[in-house]
């Protein structure tokens, strides 16, 4: 797959200028985080990439395809696990395969493999309400990956989890990412999470939503939680937080 | 024994029943109440046993069951069709909802005499009445159920490229199932009510017809006996619907369902 290209220019919905002159490109296999205070348009940006809402001006493309409707090249993880309660975990993971009418047999193996990778082996036939929040969210990640999308969009996927589970999920995500080699765009509220996970952090500022800075995180991989206490990581966190403080927003 | 301590109602409910029946039996005997006004439970039991041994009773039971079930069936079919159109097509919703609300405001039982003129003294008029009465709670639950789908779930399916019909069948229909069964639960009882009321107003057979005949002959114990049979029909229908609900809508959050 060639380099991904995502360029946005203005988006003016009604009178609000939600996103203004957004330009960035991600290479295949990049892990990119989008951070910023509330109302800076980071979820809007993600929804445009997902093909859920239309852009006003400019272009957005994924693997060379202009995004005007949801593309099969995209997988998405949501704030809540959003599993369907009447389907087993395996059936939930298979939803994109069914919807896109892909080969069921082939993808069934893929789904089981992903569940195994996510530590959900043995839970295939359980229903969502029999799993913890963290496990449900991991099933949600498996669902986003089952059709082998080239880009994984994540909209504050760990926001609802407690701090301990969240750290654990971050490590899990890095592990799954390493195995699957997807391009990931993650929207998050947590600066440390963004620094810990990403190759690059896109810092956005509000009114109108725009990119304040794109910061390359050149911490070595694989990353460990201890690394987050290092000075090197601290410098990145401080640098990003500076923008939040400048915007006068308390997180 | 631990389960009994945790659930005292398992003992208390039957005790209340026994005490109530005993009081009824003895008070009627002591006060020498006329059997035409209020028969004792034992007399009602006897009347029931007598009825259970006659073929007339069973054929009447069959007539009423048929009317109620057919009415229920038609109500369900029409409610599914109408509910689907109303919930999916905005213009249909806007155009027909005022009429539905208006029609729902009619006391449906009051339509029975008209149906009798239109459809005669046979079973047809009872089926139509049963269907008319059962229709609305089923319809309203289907509409509410189809609209109850979580926006996040719909968004999730859209992201993965689902078409409108896929969203309908994969999210909206399953979401509607708990509501649908709640509607059926109310609907089946109303269908039985409709059939019996229809029979009261003019009929040649059926349990409602038997009640009228018993009343004509001042056989109050028989009237009570048939009342028991009608209650049993309702309870059995309720249990069957609940069994289907547990099988097909096991995840259901029934807290906000209408008529529950």
Per-residue pLDDT reduced to its tens digit, A98-143: 888 888 888 888 888 888 888 888 898 899 988 888 889 889 988 9
Per-residue confidence at B182, pLDDT binned at 50, 70, 90?
very high
Number of other CB atoms surrounding residue A229 within 10 Å: 9
A99 with B161: Cβ contact below 8 A: yes
Helices (H) and strands (E) in chain B, counts: 12, 0
Per-residue confidence at B26, pLDDT binned at 50, 70, 90?
very high
Q: What is the mean pLDDT of residues A208-218?
A: 79
Partnered with residue A211 across adjacent β-strands are A204
Q: What is the mean pLDDT of residues A41-57?
A: 82
The pLDDT assigned to A16 comes to 63
Work out the angle between the directed axes of helices B123-147 and B55-88 (0-180°, nearest 10): 40
Q: What is the mean pLDDT of residues B77-104?
A: 90
- Rounded to whole angstroms, how far apart are CA atoms B28 and B32? 6
Measured between beta carbons, the chain B residues lying within 8 angstroms of A136 are none
- Rounded to whole angstroms, how far apart are CA atoms B149 and B179? 11
Measured between beta carbons, the chain B residues lying within 8 angstroms of A86 are 174, 177, 249-251
Output b/e per residue, A13-50; b: 16+ Cβ within 10 A.
Answer: eeeebbbbbbebebeebbbbbbbbbebbbbbbbbbbbb
Partnered with residue A7 across adjacent β-strands are A23
- The two most distant CA atoms of chain B are separated, in Å, by 76
Q: What is the mean pLDDT of residues B180-188?
A: 94
CB burial class (10 A; 0-12, 13-18, 19+) of residue A180?
middle
Task: Considering only the beta carbons, identify the residue of A70, A80, A127 that sits closest to B160.
Answer: A70
CB neighbours of B42 closer than 8 A, spacing ≥ 6? B25
3-state SS string for B190-224: HHHHHHHHHHHHCCCCCHHHHHHHHHHCCCHHHHH
Q: Which residue has the higher pLDDT, B72 or A206?
A: B72
The pLDDT assigned to B180 comes to 94
Torsion angle defined by CA atoms of residues B134, B135, B141 and B144, in that order, rounded to the nearest 10 degrees: -160
Per-residue confidence at B253, pLDDT binned at 50, 70, 90?
low
Nearest to B171 by CA among B151, B149, B152: B149
Range from A59-63, A186-190, B106-110, B130-134 carrying the lowest mean pLDDT: A59-63
**pTM for this prediction:** 0.80
Question: Which backbone phi and psi does B140 adopt, to 5 degrees?
Answer: -65, -40
Per-residue confidence at A160, pLDDT binned at 50, 70, 90?
confident
A110 Cα distance to chain centroid: 21
Instruction: Check whether A173 has a pLDDT greater than 60.
Output: yes
Q: Which residue of B has its CA nearest to A143?
A: B160
Instruction: Check whether B193 has a pLDDT greater than 90.
Output: yes
Range from A31-45, A78-92, B157-171, B218-232 carrying the lowest mean pLDDT: A31-45
Which residues in B have their CB inside 8 Å of a CB on A? 150, 152-153, 155-162, 166, 170-171, 174, 177, 249-251
Question: Which backbone phi and psi does A12 adopt, to 5 degrees?
Answer: -120, 95
Task: Considering only the beta carbons, identify the residue of B155, B160, B177 that sits closest to A100.
Answer: B160
Task: Considering only the beta carbons, identify the residue of B150, B162, B249 that sits closest to A99.
Answer: B162
DSSP string, B96-129: HHHHHHHHHHS-GGGGHHHHHHHH-SSHHHHHHH
Q: Which residue of A has its CA nearest to B160?
A: A96
Residue % of chain A over a pLDDT of 70: 90
Per-residue confidence at A251, pLDDT binned at 50, 70, 90?
very low
B156 with A147: Cβ contact below 8 A: no
CA distances from B239 to A18, A34, A57, B186, B245 (A): 55, 54, 59, 12, 10
Range from A1-10, A233-242, B221-230 carrying the lowest mean pLDDT: A1-10
Task: Considering only the beta carbons, identify the residue of A82, A86, A127 that sits closest to B152.
Answer: A82
Number of other CB atoms surrounding residue B13 within 10 Å: 10
DSSP code for B31: T
A98 with B170: Cβ contact below 8 A: yes
Partnered with residue A209 across adjacent β-strands are A19
Q: Which residue of A has its CA nearest to B246?
A: A86
Q: Is this complex scored with an ipTM above 0.85? A: no
A84 with B152: Cβ contact below 8 A: no
Number of other CB atoms surrounding residue B62 within 10 Å: 13
Shortest Cα distance, chain A CAs vs residue B181, angstroms: 15
- Rounded to whole angstroms, how far apart are CA atoms A37 and B33? 81
Residue with tokens 């409602």: B208
B226 Cα distance to chain centroid: 17
Question: Which backbone phi and psi does A30 adopt, to 5 degrees?
Answer: -75, 150
The pLDDT assigned to B177 comes to 92
- Rounded to whole angstroms, how far apart are CA atoms B187 and B75? 8
Task: Considering only the beta carbons, identify the residue of B150, B152, B158 that sits closest to A70.
Answer: B158
- Rounded to whole angstroms, how far apart are CA atoms A207 and A81? 30
Which helix (H) or strand (E) segment holds residue A123: the answer is none
The pLDDT assigned to B80 comes to 96
Q: Which residue has the higher pLDDT, B254 or A150?
A: A150
B250 with A71: Cβ contact below 8 A: no
For B32-44, write each residue's pLDDT tens digit. 888 889 999 999 9
Range from A173-182, A189-198, B19-28 carrying the lowest mean pLDDT: A173-182
Q: Return the SS3 of A153.
A: strand
DSSP code for A144: H
Q: Which residue of A has its CA nearest to B164?
A: A99
Shortest Cα distance, chain A CAs vs residue B256, angstroms: 17
Q: What is the mean pLDDT of residues A25-45?
A: 82
Q: Mean pLDDT score of chain B, rounded to an integer?
A: 90
Instruction: Report the side by side order of strands in the sheet with A200-205.
Output: A74-77, A151-155, A183-187, A31-35, A200-205, A210-216
Number of other CB atoms surrounding residue A109 within 10 Å: 9
CB neighbours of A240 closer than 8 A, spacing ≥ 6? A35, A191, A194, A195, A201, A203, A215
Instruction: Check whether B188 has a pLDDT greater than 80.
Output: yes
């Amino acid at each position: 797959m060639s380099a991904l290209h995502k360029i946005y220019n203005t988006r003016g919905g009604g009178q609000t200028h939600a996103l203004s002159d957004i330009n960035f490109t991600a290479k295949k296999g990049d892990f990119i985080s989008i951070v910023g205070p509330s109302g800076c348009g980071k979820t809007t940006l993600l929804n445009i990439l997902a093909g859920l809402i239309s852009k006003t001006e400019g272009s957005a493309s994924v693997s060379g395809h202009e995004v005007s409707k949801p593309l099969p090249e995209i997988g998405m993880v949501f704030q809540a696990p959003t599993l369907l309660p009447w389907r087993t975990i395996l059936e939930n993971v298979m939803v994109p395969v069914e919807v896109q009418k892909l080969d069921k047999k082939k993808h069934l193996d893929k789904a089981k493999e992903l569940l195994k990778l996510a530590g959900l082996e043995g839970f295939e036939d359980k229903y969502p309400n029999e799993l913890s929040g963290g496990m449900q969210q991991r099933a949600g990640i498996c669902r986003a990956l089952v059709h082998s999308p080239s880009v994984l969009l994540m909209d504050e996927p760990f926001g609802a989890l407690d701090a301990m589970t969240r750290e654990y999920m971050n490590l899990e995500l890095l592990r799954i990412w390493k195995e699957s080699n997807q391009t990931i765009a993650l929207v998050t509220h947590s600066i440390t999470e963004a620094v810990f996970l990403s190759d690059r952090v896109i810092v956005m500022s509000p009114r109108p939503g725009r990119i304040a800075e794109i910061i390359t995180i050149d911490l070595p991989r694989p990353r460990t939680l201890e690394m987050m206490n290092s000075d090197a990581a601290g410098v990145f966190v401080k640098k990003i937080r500076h923008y939040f403080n400048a915007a006068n927003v308390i997180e | 024994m631990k389960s009994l301590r945790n659930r005292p109602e398992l003992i208390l409910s039957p005790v209340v029943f026994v005490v109530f029946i005993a009081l009824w039996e003895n008070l009627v005997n002591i006060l020498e109440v006329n059997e035409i006004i209020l028969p004792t439970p034992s007399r009602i039991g006897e009347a029931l046993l007598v009825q259970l041994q006659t073929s007339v009773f069973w054929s009447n039971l069959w007539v009423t069951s048929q009317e109620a079930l057919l009415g229920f069936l038609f109500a369900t079919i029409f409610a599914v069709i109408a509910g689907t159109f109303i919930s999916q097509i905005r213009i249909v919703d806007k155009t027909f909802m005022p009429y539905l609300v208006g029609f729902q405001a009619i006391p449906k039982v009051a339509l029975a005499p008209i149906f009798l003129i239109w459809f005669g003294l046979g079973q047809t008029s009872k089926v139509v009445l049963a269907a008319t009465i059962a229709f609305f709670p089923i319809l309203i639950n289907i509409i509410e159920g189809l609209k109850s789908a979580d926006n996040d779930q719909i968004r999730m399916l859209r992201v993965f490229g689902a078409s409108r019909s896929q969203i309908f069948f994969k999210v909206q229909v399953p979401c509607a199932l708990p509501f649908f069964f709640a509607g059926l639960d109310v609907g089946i009882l109303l269908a039985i009510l409709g059939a019996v009321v229809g029979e009261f107003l003019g009929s040649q057979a059926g349990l409602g017809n038997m009640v009228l005949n018993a009343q004509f002959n001042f056989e109050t114990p028989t009237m009570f006996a048939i009342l028991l049979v009608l209650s049993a029909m309702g309870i059995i229908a309720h249990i069957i619907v609940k069994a289907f609900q547990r099988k097909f809508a096991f995840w259901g959050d029934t807290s906000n369902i209408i008529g529950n």
